[in-house]
């Protein structure tokens, strides 16, 4: 099965929707399992209610209301800066990350983003592999960016978002 068919099959298993304030406890649980410095509740409240540049999405299995992942980005002019991205450990490796990343890139492109960027820990090879699959390339390194352990951040960008049909099938790759 090719990458596009696999993504379509996986997309059928999940539902992506905008995050609501009621989702904060479940999202904070995903964060606690995923990051050394999870966002506090106030940050989510600010991002949801005050920050007009912020877009937060959650993903759940179609058959269940349980949230299995969260993703966010700030749309600054025509660039989407991915602010958070995590799948609950119990659900990793089942395609939810790919479906969610495809979802936010689509949404951002639809809102006018021409490119996307993010920082990722130099040692986070799983996330880097996922991002590369969606056209992200490493364009820089921020030395000692992560204060908890001094780890470097890789800066990754994806260009020409407006050309995505689905992120795994850019028009020029058909
Ligand atoms: C990175 C993360 C979001 C991936 O989510 P996921 O649902 O497990 O990813 P998927 O199952 O959709 O996998 C999609 C692709 O990502 C890559 N990938 C995922 N897990 C991987 C692993 N452990 N090792 C290598 N590549 C991996 C693969 O290329 C995979 O494609 P494939 O299924 O065709 O092999 C998840 O591991 C996570 O939440 N990690 C902790 C938080 C985090 O690191 N967030 C990113 C911050 S920048």
The answer to whether residue 173 is domain-embedded is no
Q: Is the CB–ligand 1 distance for residue 97 below 6 Å?
A: yes
Domain span at residue 124 reads 3-168
The answer to whether residue 75 is domain-embedded is yes
Clarify whether 29 is annotated catalytic. no
* Beta-strand runs (E) in 32-169: 54-61, 69-76, 79-87, 115-121, 137-142, 153-158
Q: Name the token pair of 136.
A: 């992200």
The answer to whether residue 91 is domain-embedded is yes
The answer to whether residue 144 is domain-embedded is yes
* Token pair 């390194």 in the structure block, residue: 141
Cβ neighbour number for residue 5 with a 10 Å cutoff:
11
- Please, what are the averages of pLDDT over each run of 10 residues along the chain (174 residues)? 84 94 98 96 98 98 95 97 98 97 95 97 98 97 95 97 75 48
The answer to whether residue 83 is domain-embedded is yes
Q: Name the token pair of 32.
A: 């606690």
The answer to whether residue 148 is domain-embedded is yes
- Asked whether the whole model's pTM tops 0.85, one would answer yes
Residues in the chain: 174
Query: How many domains is the chain partitioned into structurally?
Result: 1
Cβ-Cβ contacts under 8 Å for 60 (sequence gap 6 or more) = 14, 15, 17, 66, 67, 68
The answer to whether residue 174 is domain-embedded is no
CATH number reported for the structural domain that contains residue 153 in this entry = 3.40.630.30
Q: Which of 126, 131, 153, 156 has the most ligand 1 atoms within 8 A of CB, as the residue to mutate?
A: 126
């Amino acid at each position: 099965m090719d990458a596009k068919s696999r993504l379509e099959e996986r997309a059928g298993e999940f539902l992506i929707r905008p995050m609501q304030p009621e989702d904060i406890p479940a999202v904070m649980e995903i964060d606690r399992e995923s990051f050394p410095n999870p966002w506090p509740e106030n940050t989510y409240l600010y991002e949801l209610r005050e920050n007009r540049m912020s877009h937060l999405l959650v993903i759940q299995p179609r058959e269940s209301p349980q949230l299995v992942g969260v993703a966010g980005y700030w749309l600054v002019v025509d660039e989407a800066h991915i602010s958070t991205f995590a799948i609950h450990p119990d659900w990793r490796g089942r395609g939810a990350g790919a479906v969610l990343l495809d979802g936010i890139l689509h949404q951002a492109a639809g809102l006018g983003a021409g490119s996307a960027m993010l920082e990722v820990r130099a040692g986070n090879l799983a996330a880097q592999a996922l991002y590369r699959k969606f056209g992200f390339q490493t364009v820089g390194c921020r030395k000692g960016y992560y204060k908890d352990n001094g780890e470097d951040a890789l800066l990754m960008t994806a260009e020409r978002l407006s050309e995505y049909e689905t992120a795994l099938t850019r028009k020029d790759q058909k």
